[in-house]
Amino acid sequence: MTPSAALSQMTTTAYGFLLPLAIVLPVAGVLFALLLGGRGAERFALAVMPAGLILSAAIAVGVWRANGVLVYLIGAWPPPLGIALRADGFSAAMLVTTALIISGAGCFAFLGNYRTPDGATEARAPLAFWTLLLSLWTALNCVFLSDDLFNLYVALELLTFAAVPLVCLDGRAPTLLAAMRYLLFALLGSALYLLGATLIYGAYGELDITLLSQKVRPEPAVWVATGLMTAGLLAKTALFPLHLWLPPAHAGAPAPASAMLSALVVKASFFLVVRLWLNLIPWPMSAAPTQILAALGAAAILFGSVLALRQERLKLLIAYSTVAQIGYLFLMLPLASGAHSWAVAAWTGGVLQAVSHAFAKAAMFLAAGLVAETIGHDRISGLHGIGRLLPMTVFAFGLGGLSLMGLPPSGGFAAKWLLLSAAVESGQWQWAAVMLMGGLLAGGYVFRVLAPALAAPNEPVPQRQRVAPGREILVLVLALCAMLIGFAPPELLDLLQIGRPVSTMAVLQ
């Protein structure tokens, strides 16, 4: 972003008033849920969901109509004295995705085990779930709208303390252990990030990313600070080899929590990696580090896919596939850097991958939850004939798997095709080869599930309990969202370009 563009964003823009509302709304939901308690908490949370979805869509429409970044100055004080909230095309896409997935997971939970039982005034698990869900939504919106390094640290901490309890909501010893491991990784990541932000502030006296992007130069303080912040964010994103906490945490959490953790929570820290290396750091400086990050992403694709193939439990398989699919996001970084001709395709492909993976993974984790509830386990070897009991659920799982494999006409295909095209055009063939290999491996672990699920059982499949049709419909809707992204109209792709970092290369020339 050029200096003149940065100065133009020092005032509140039209539609900018929507940005603080996206944070205030779920915060109000948390406060009223705690105040009302019991059945009132879930009712108020369910009322907040459509309102939050409408607000997120309004922000996206505002970005599109303004054809520029929306800005809101808190207290009318511009940075560096004040704090600015900003929303570009990437932010708008993530806000809408977050609202849709949290609404879907919330409705799924309400129709399942997180509804206050009839005759009871209050139950611990439902009250905790709805409060944490709204807290998670608040933190995610803060991440996607903040542009201040310290505010982003606060948002990451809020996200951690909302996500960790969701992992161990059932109180079992294995989930408590997984949550503790998750907490340790997250706190380590937060400490590294905060240390890096402190060094940046000491060097430049500012924390606003837009203003800092005009001042950052290749000097030791910047390299140390960005290295620390990146390491902390990678620990939170669970990028290989810092992925050790993710599989047990995501696989052990309740199905609605697993869906939100895998679809959204890991994307928040990735979102900040993008802001750090594409928005804050000028292109000549970011060229080598983004190649290193892409190499880690490539290792994640191969390593996570191979481990997914070796799993015996369905939720663990899906969790390790998350480790693999996160790797595709980091391939975006070296391809979308600078003002190259292929950068537009790479940027669009990276954003579409983040969104399509979110919907596909949410659908697959919810589908795995329904399978476990129906037959009492999620062992892959015991899934024979489950397709006859839960045809809609297995179909939704298959649609999510198609997106992970990158087969047309899914959103995953559109995303991976754009990334593949950018890799070929830029001459970075190694990333193209990794993407093709990752698609084949994804096909292998998806087939491992679908083959027994669709096979005829040797004996009747024991049905532990019936599943509400509405929950199956919700899973299918999320899976269809992952597919429909492949049919995204040109207007949506144009929206994603608003605020795309393209001119940082010119600053140092």
For residue range 467-493, list pLDDT tens digits in order: 788 889 999 999 999 999 988 887 788
Q: What pLDDT, on the 0 to 100 scale, is given for residue 119?
A: 65
C-alpha to C-alpha distance for 132 and 234, rounded to whole angstroms:
24
Measured at the CA of 499, the angle between CA 220 and CA 196, to 5 degrees, comes to 25
C-alpha to C-alpha distance for 407 and 355, rounded to whole angstroms:
16
User: Would you say residue 497 lies in a domain?
Assistant: no
Domain that holds residue 366: 295-490
Look up residue 119 and give its two tokens: 């005759």
User: Would you say residue 356 lies in a domain?
Assistant: yes
Look up residue 9 and give its two tokens: 């964003």
- Three-class DSSP category at 73: strand
- What are phi and psi for residue 371, nearest 5 degrees? -60, -45
Alpha helices in 275-313 (DSSP H): 283-309
Q: Are 379 and 451 in contact (CB under 8 A)?
A: no
Number of domains in the chain: 1
Burial class (CB in 10 A: 0-12, 13-18, 19+), 487: exposed
How far are the Cα atoms of 181, 421, 428 from residue 64, in angstroms, in the given order? 41, 26, 32
Amino acid (1-letter code) at residue 369: G
C-alpha to C-alpha distance for 432 and 198, rounded to whole angstroms:
38
User: Would you say residue 416 lies in a domain?
Assistant: yes
Amino acid (1-letter code) at residue 54: I
C-alpha to C-alpha distance for 337 and 485, rounded to whole angstroms:
24
- What are phi and psi for residue 240, nearest 5 degrees? -50, 135
For the ranges 101-105, 196-200, 464-468, which has the lowest average pLDDT? 464-468
Nearest Cα residue to 326 out of 348, 296, 349? 296
Q: What is the mean pLDDT of residues 63-78?
A: 88
Q: What pLDDT, on the 0 to 100 scale, is given for residue 6?
A: 47
Beta-carbon contacts of residue 282 (< 8 Å; ≥ 6 apart): 213, 216, 504, 505, 507, 508
User: Would you say residue 320 lies in a domain?
Assistant: yes
Q: What pLDDT, on the 0 to 100 scale, is given for residue 259?
A: 92
Q: What is the mean pLDDT of residues 310-338?
A: 90
Tokens 């990030």, residue?
A: 193
How far are the Cα atoms of 231, 234, 296, 395, 403 from residue 238, in angstroms, in the given order? 10, 6, 11, 29, 21
Is this structure's pTM higher than 0.85? Answer: yes
pLDDT averaged over the chain? 87
User: Would you say residue 434 lies in a domain?
Assistant: yes
Dump pLDDT digits (tens) for 349-393: 999 999 999 999 999 999 999 998 888 888 888 888 888 888 899
User: Would you say residue 43 lies in a domain?
Assistant: no
Please count the other Cβ atoms lying within 10 Å of the Cβ belonging to residue 333: 24
C-alpha to C-alpha distance for 347 and 497, rounded to whole angstroms:
8
C-alpha to C-alpha distance for 31 and 36, rounded to whole angstroms:
9
- Highest mean pLDDT pick, 39-48, 274-283, 408-417: 408-417
C-alpha to C-alpha distance for 339 and 274, rounded to whole angstroms:
16
User: Would you say residue 131 lies in a domain?
Assistant: no
Beta-carbon contacts of residue 173 (< 8 Å; ≥ 6 apart): none
User: Would you say residue 465 lies in a domain?
Assistant: yes
Q: What is the mean pLDDT of residues 44-54?
A: 91
Running DSSP on this structure, what letter comes out for residue 261?
I
Look up residue 3 and give its two tokens: 């200096």
Q: Are 264 and 101 in contact (CB under 8 A)?
A: yes
C-alpha to C-alpha distance for 260 and 67, rounded to whole angstroms:
30
Nearest Cα residue to 412 out of 491, 327, 484, 489? 484
Alpha helices in 117-237 (DSSP H): 124-145, 149-167, 173-204, 209-212, 220-237
Check residue 171 and give left, alpha or beta (phi > 0: left; psi -120 to 50: alpha).
left
At 507, is the pLDDT very low, low, confident or very high (cuts 50, 70, 90)? very low
DSSP 445-456: HHHHHHHHHHSP
pLDDT surpasses 60 at 43: yes
pLDDT surpasses 60 at 271: yes
Dump pLDDT digits (tens) for 164-204: 999 988 878 888 998 899 999 999 999 999 999 999 999 88
Q: Are 197 and 154 in contact (CB under 8 A)?
A: no
Residue 114: in which H helix or E strand, if any?
Answer: none
Q: What is the mean pLDDT of residues 275-287?
A: 81
What percentage of the chain reaches a pLDDT higher than 70? 94
Tokens 């899934």, residue?
A: 383
User: Sign of the C-alpha dihedral, residues 331, 482, 322, 95?
Assistant: positive
